[in-house]
Amino acid sequence: MAANDGTPISFELFPPRTDAAALALGRTIDRLAEAHPAFISVTFGAGGSSRERSLTVLRYMLDQTDVEPMAHLTCVGSSHAEANRLVRDFLDAGVTSFLALRGDPPLGAEDDGLGDLGSAAELVQLIHRVQEEREPFTQAGIPGLPGASEIRERPRPERVAVAAFPTGHPRSRGPQQDVDTLLAKEIAGATLAITQLFWHADDYLGFVARARSAGVSIPIVPGIMPVTTPSRLARLTQLTGVEPPAQLAIDLEIEPDADAQNEIGVAYAARLAGEVLADAPGLHLYTFNRHEAVLGVLDRLGLMPSSRPAEERNVTNT
Ligand code: FAD
């Protein structure tokens, strides 16, 4: 599925930590679904800390919406057997799209504590292998017929996405290593890349050009986040190591009004998305579990179904 003009849109959420947040997240997902996203991805705590909470959100999407759920999975610190079990559990839950990540080791972890899989590329291979090794069929109950069951084909992975780092991974030795790592993920079987957030169109466009000349051919979807408070901007910088533009930081800092801050963040993200969209295969928006800002970005770009004139809404996308 795609937004109004055929541009595939996707969103990222993180699993809620409280019951109240889980309830609010259900409403957020329902609102995000109105944008007809190609998928909504759900993050995964490295080491499996959010495994059950991630699964709950993914199941909500499967059971209550038409949206394709994508599960982030990390492999850092896992043995082969544990990673294998993890992939099987998510496939058994009906999830067929994955974002395969290595994840970050706990601070101070020694190299031998990283687990059996050293990189996201190895997890991509494992996801494909687990899928191939599984019994192709499963026995499932028939809704409405207690006690009855039928043989069904097991769900197969639809997308195996990976992360890409336009401004460089913090541990990377240089821009070439970031491109080489992405190429290794594609060779391992990745079908899609989603970028770390970036703040300048040239960072994304330059990275894609370097990746293409190195032989990467999978779609590289820009990941963009409307950041609407100075504290969130500071936290993001700490988490990603990607320095924001000084002017954006100042504008958010000196603006006392929350609505005006929201406007600053949405306007920046919409401008950035507009600058890359002509050369991008879609748009992935980091939501911070809120729908307002990301839907505001799509609205500005004319990518919400409701942004189109009524007479165009039934036009079939190509
Ligand atoms: P890899 O691509 O395997 O490696 C990352 C980098 O490490 C490489 O680019 C390379 O520079 C370096 N590297 C790898 N192997 C070697 C080596 N052998 N020698 C030297 N350097 C090496 N984290 C979570 O915990 N949960 C999530 O849900 C999550 N979602 C994310 C979603 C996106 C879109 C992005 C961009 C990141 C996400 N992360 C998440 C963060 C991610 O786990 C970290 O950035 C992690 O450090 C790298 O993971 P990776 O899959 O990119 O690893």
Residue-wise pLDDT tens digits, 201-227 = 999 999 999 999 999 999 999 999 999
Mean pLDDT of the 236-249 span:
93
Checking if the pLDDT of 312 tops 70, the result is no
What would the mean pLDDT of 56-83 be, rounded to a whole number? 94
Helix axes 51-64, 19-33, angle to 10 degrees: 40
Asked if residue 303 belongs to a domain, the reply is yes
Whose alpha carbon is nearest atom 36 of ligand 1? 196
User: Which of 47-51, 174-178, 234-238, 263-267 tops mean pLDDT?
Assistant: 263-267
Specify burial of residue 160 (Cβ count, 10 A radius: 0-12, 13-18, 19+).
Answer: buried
Beta bridge partners of 142: 145
Q: Is residue 147 part of a domain?
A: no
**Domain count across the chain:** 1
Residue 23 lies in a domain: yes
Question: What average pLDDT does range 8-26 have in this prediction?
Answer: 92
Write the burial class of residue 173 (CB in 10 Å: 0-12 exposed, 13-18 middle, 19+ buried).
Answer: exposed
Enter the pTM of the model.
0.90
- Report CA(256)–ligand 1 centroid distance (Å): 36
| 60/2: higher pLDDT | 60
* Catalytic annotation, pick one of 12, 68, 122, 186: 12
126 and 83 Cβ atoms separated by less than 8 Å: yes
In a domain, residue 171? The reply is yes
> What local confidence, expressed as pLDDT, does residue 220 receive?
98
Please confirm, yes or no, whether 12 is among the known catalytic residues. Answer: yes
Per residue in 190-199, pLDDT (tens digit) is 999 999 999 9
Of 42-51, 107-116, 180-189, the range with the lowest mean pLDDT is: 107-116
Mean pLDDT of all residues belonging to the chain: 90
Query: Residue 4: inside a domain, yes or no?
Result: no
Residue 224: other Cβ atoms inside 10 A: 25
Residue 54: inside a domain:
yes
Q: What is the pLDDT of residue 314?
A: 43
What does the CA dihedral 296, 31, 94, 97 come to, rounded to 10 degrees?
-10
CB of 240 within 6 A of ligand 1: the answer is no
| Residue 44 in contact with ligand 1 by CB distance below 6 A | yes
Confidence (pLDDT) at 316: 36
Asked whether residue 146 is assigned to any structural domain, the reply reads no
Rounded to the nearest angstrom, the distance between the alpha carbon of 152 and the centre of ligand 1 is 35
Q: Which range marks the domain in which residue 170 is found?
A: 9-138+153-317
State the pLDDT confidence band at 6, using cuts at 50, 70 and 90: confident
Per-residue pLDDT at 157 exceeds 80: no
Q: Of 297, 285, 315, 288, which Cα lies nearest the Cα of 37?
A: 285
Would the pLDDT of 137 be above 90? Answer: no
Residue 1 located in a structural domain? no
Q: Is the model's pLDDT at 46 over the cut of 90? A: no
**Tokens linked to 152:** 């069904």
pLDDT by residue (tens digit) across 244-270? 999 999 999 999 999 999 999 999 999
Gap from CA of 255 to ligand 1 centroid (Å): 34
Q: Which residue has the tokens 């494992």?
A: 126
Calculate what percentage of the chain has a pLDDT beyond 90: 72
Q: Does residue 95 have its Cβ closer than 6 Å to ligand 1? A: no
CATH number at residue 200: 3.20.20.220
Element (H, E) at 3: none
Checking if the pLDDT of 111 tops 80, the result is no
Give CA–CA dist 50/86, Å, rounded.
12
Q: What percent of the chain has pLDDT over 70?
A: 91
167 Cβ inside 6 Å of ligand 1: no
The pair of three-digit structure tokens given for residue 264, joined into one six-digit string: 């600053």
pLDDT category, 5, cuts 50, 70, 90?
A: low
**Residue 1: what pLDDT?**
47
Query: Which of 109, 87, 75 is closest to 157 using CA atoms?
Result: 87
Closest residue (by CA) to atom 11 of ligand 1?
172
Ligand 1 centroid distance, CA of 153 (Å):
33
Kindly calculate the radius of gyration of the chain based on its CA atoms and give it in whole angstroms: 20
Distances (CA, A) of 110 to 32, 47, 164: 40, 15, 25
Residue with tokens 């599960």: 71
